[in-house]
Amino acid sequence: MNNKYRFLRRDSYVVDLGSAPGGFAAAVAKTVKLDDRARRWDQEGKRLVKRRITGRRRSRPFGKLVCVDVVDMAEIGGASFIRGSLMDDDVEHRIGYALNGDEADVVLCDAAPSTTGNSEMDHIRCVDMAKAGLGVANAVLRNGGVFVVKVFRVRKKRNWLRL
């Protein structure tokens, strides 16, 4: 996807929502130059004083990758991991803390609920997760940033595109 749209750079700050098992995160780690000093964050929420950066973003020596999921995933060198749901009230603050108060350049939402076998119900639940991801993206994404979301597809339902 990045080969076509070129939204990832070596110094991008990326948030991967629903990151387990780590497919998107591994692809991001191949493009973004990560600093190996990143930490894994636990369930404890931390307070954040958020700095807003407006206008063009400056070049940085490293990018950042913050992975968020309810289940653990394989560790990726230089990436931060937050164990929690994107529906949690404090997830935006925890992501902001992991980004040191900076805003993300890219938010990827690969979150999906457990499937039930009913395609329409699964689609509705997946759209709800996508909307929650959009809410997180609105809180942590810089102006002009990129939001990429994956949604289960049902032929009859296309209204979610009009968010």
Q: Report CA-CA distances (Å) from 99 to 4, 42, 76.
A: 27, 15, 16
**Inter-residue contact 95 to 82 (CB < 8 Å):** yes
User: Quick one: residue 118, left, alpha or beta (phi over 0 = left, psi -120 to 50 = alpha)?
Assistant: beta
Q: Which of 33, 50, 150, 157 is catalytic?
A: 150
Catalytic, 4? Answer no
Count how many residues are written for the chain: 163
Cβ–Cβ under 8 Å, residues 61 and 13: no
Residue 115's region, left for phi above 0, alpha for psi from -120 to 50, else beta, is beta
Asked whether 101 and 126 are in contact (CB, 8 A), the reply is no
Catalytically active residues are 150
